[in-house]
């Protein structure tokens, strides 16, 4: 007789701490089989402490009561924890999918959980790092800065920079806003994508990068703040390059936790209570920073000075708001030197805490709010 082979359970990836709802008939048994006993919690228990302490929490719901699902979602989102759903069998539930990080539908009740760090969690990477401020399409200045930092640039067959490596094994970390406004957005993207692919750099997503990502996906995006520059330049590139750009930007995390948690990089900075958390609120804070909801006389959002009250243990490096001079503030530093506006392209060497910068070769764009000294 032929030997009957047992089916391999479907693997379900759960990144980082999260609330996992297992929905459908047989959910209790399936959850106990797939998760550790200390991870499984009844739906009527208080999950607050577990979620606050960054634990993975699995809750089985046999009937997927919509009221209880909504309550659990509200709790987790309020604590800035991601929520994943695993739907068992051929059952159709009216889930508010936009509120879940992922929804995995399985034909059977047997599955295996694959735990992995959250997309932001790179605590195992200890550097040394070179954290580079907002580039905004300034390829010439980026090449000058990389040279000052000791990186060796690689060229493609057409003689264009498509990668860079440091002989001492340092890793470049970009704070986002690679695109818009500058003279060579595609050149910057080609170089940085090559560095990301080879493992010579990391990057977080900036608000300008996110707008370009959405535009490339066909979403309705307001064409402003230099997005037209990026789209015009990318229109001259092959389809496969535009697709690669969209995929690369979509894969960028909103923030990075590095060096055992001692270094955090976020485009607009991030208060300590959100380090390592994933939610729409955390993503918005990383991309735009906290604001009052009002605009100033220049039409720009009024930003809250989060760094003035920062008392966290981690060094936080960010960009987003161009500054004429670099200054440490409570363990945080902004490395956006406003290069595209005629300022400088700035990098922080970590753990040395040394700031390195190159002046802009030209003013490529006019800022809405001047930040450089007159003259």
Spans of the chain, pLDDT less than 70: 1-8, 374-375
Same-domain status, 191 and 304: yes
Of residues 132, 175, 143, 182, the one with CA closest to residue 341: 182
The model's pTM is: 0.92
Q: 252 with 154, same domain?
A: yes
Residues 139 and 274 in one domain: yes
Q: Would you say the C-alpha torsion 240, 242, 245, 246 has a positive or negative sign?
A: negative
* End position of a domain, from candidates 98, 116, 134: 116
Say how many C-beta atoms besides its own lie within 10 A of residue 372's C-beta: 18
CB-neighbour burial class of residue 301 (10 A; exposed 0-12, middle 13-18, buried 19+):
middle
Tally of CA atoms within 13 A in the half-sphere of 374 that contains its CB: 0
Q: Which long-range contacts does 348-352 make (Cβ < 8 Å, 24+ apart)?
A: 348/130, 348/131, 348/317, 349/128, 349/129, 349/130, 349/149, 350/127, 350/128, 350/129, 350/130, 350/131, 350/259, 350/263, 350/315, 350/317, 351/127, 351/128, 351/259, 352/128
CB 189 within 8 A of CB 240: no
Are 187 and 133 part of one and the same domain?
yes
Tally of structural domains, the chain: 2
Residue 98 CB neighbour total at 10 angstroms:
6
Q: In the chain, what are the helix, strand and coil shares in percent, each to the nearest 5?
A: 30, 25, 45
Instruction: Let me know if residue 46 belongs to a domain.
Output: yes
Q: Is 99:76 a contact under the CB 8 Å cutoff?
A: no
Same domain? For 58 and 155 the reply is no
Phi first, then psi, for residue 166 (nearest 5°) are -95, 130
Q: Are 22 and 56 in contact (CB under 8 A)?
A: no
| pLDDT of the residue at 375 | 57
Please give the pLDDT value at position 303. Answer: 87
Q: What pLDDT shows up at residue 4? A: 53
151 three-class SS: coil
CATH of the domain at 77: 3.40.50.300
User: Is residue 322 located within the same domain as residue 345?
Assistant: yes
Task: Give the pairing of strands 18-23 and 301-303.
Answer: unpaired
* 366 occurs within a structural domain: no
Looking at the structure, tell me whether residues 68 and 129 fall in a common domain: no
Does the residue 283 lie in any domain?
Answer: yes
Token pair recorded at residue 355? 């700031």
Domain that holds residue 26: 10-116
Please say whether the dihedral angle defined by the alpha carbons of residues 175, 181, 184 and 185, taken in this order, is positive or negative. Answer: positive
Structural domain ending residue among the three candidates 64, 84, 116: 116
Cβ–Cβ under 8 Å, residues 227 and 211 = yes
pLDDT at 211: 97
Q: Give the CATH number for residue 179.
A: 3.60.21.10
CA–CA separation, 363 vs 340, rounded Å?
A: 6
Domain assignment present for residue 375? The answer is no
Residues pairing with 349 in the sheet: 130, 354
Q: Are residues 342 and 231 in the same domain?
A: yes
Residue 368 lies in a domain: no
Q: What is the pLDDT of residue 131?
A: 98
160 and 108 belong to one structural domain? no
Q: Within this chain, do residues 125 and 111 fall inside the same structural domain, yes or no?
A: no
Q: Tokens 């229109």 — which residue?
A: 235
Residue 374 lies in a domain: no
185-198 vs 239-250: helix axis angle to the nearest 10? Answer: 60
- Boundary residue ending a domain (86, 116, 146): 116
The CA distances from residue 253 to 35, 135, 205, 244, 339, in Å, are: 26, 18, 6, 16, 23
Question: Which pLDDT value is given to residue 161?
Answer: 98
Q: Do 72 and 186 share a domain, yes or no?
A: no
Same domain, 106 and 141: no
Per-residue pLDDT, 296: 81
| Token pair listed for 239 | 């389809």
Q: Tell me if 81 is assigned to some domain.
A: yes
**String of DSSP letters for 310-372:** ---SSEEEE-SS--SS---BTTEEE---BGGGTSEEEEEEETTTEEEEEE-SS--S--SS--S
| Residue 229 covered by a domain | yes
């Amino acid at each position: 007789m032929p030997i009957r082979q047992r089916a391999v359970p479907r693997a379900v990836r759960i990144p980082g701490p999260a609330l996992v709802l297992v929905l459908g008939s047989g959910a209790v048994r399936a959850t106990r089989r797939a998760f550790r006993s200390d991870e499984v919690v009844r739906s009527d228990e208080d999950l607050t402490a577990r979620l606050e302490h960054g634990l993975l929490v699995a809750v089985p719901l046999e009937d997927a009561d919509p009221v209880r699902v909504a309550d659990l979602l509200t709790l987790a989102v309020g604590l800035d924890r991601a929520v994943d759903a695993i739907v068992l069998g051929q059952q159709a539930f009216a889930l508010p999918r936009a509120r879940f990080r992922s929804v995995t539908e399985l034909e059977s009740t047997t599955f295996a959980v694959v735990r992995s760090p959250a997309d932001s969690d790179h605590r195992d990477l200890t550097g040394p790092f070179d954290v580079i401020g907002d580039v905004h399409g300034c390829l010439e200045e980026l090449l000058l800065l990389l040279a000052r930092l000791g990186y060796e640039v690689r060229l493609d067959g057409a003689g264009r920079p498509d990668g860079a490596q440091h002989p001492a094994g340092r890793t470049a970390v970009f704070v986002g806003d690679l695109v818009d406004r500058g003279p060579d957005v595609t050149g910057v993207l080609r170089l940085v994508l090559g560095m990301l692919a080879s493992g010579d750099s990391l990057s977080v997503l900036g608000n300008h990068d996110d707008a370009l990502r959405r535009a490339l996906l066909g979403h309705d995006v307001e064409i402003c703040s230099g997005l037209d520059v990026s789209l015009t330049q990318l229109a001259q590139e092959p389809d496969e390059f535009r697709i690669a750009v969209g995929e690369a930007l979509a894969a960028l995390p909103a923030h990075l936790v590095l060096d055992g948690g001692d270094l955090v990089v976020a485009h607009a900075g991030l208060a300590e209570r959100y380090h390592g958390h994933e939610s729409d609120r955390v993503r918005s804070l990383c991309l735009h920073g906290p604001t009052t909801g009002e605009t100033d006389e220049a039409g720009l959002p009024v930003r809250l000075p989060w760094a003035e009250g920062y008392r966290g243990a981690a060094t936080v490096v960010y960009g987003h708001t161009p500054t004429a001079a670099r200054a440490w503030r409570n363990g945080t530093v902004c490395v956006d030197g406003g290069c595209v506006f005629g300022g400088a392209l700035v990098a922080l060497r970590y753990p040395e805490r040394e700031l390195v910068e190159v002046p802009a070769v030209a003013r490529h764009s006019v800022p809405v709010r001047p930040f450089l000294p007159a003259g």
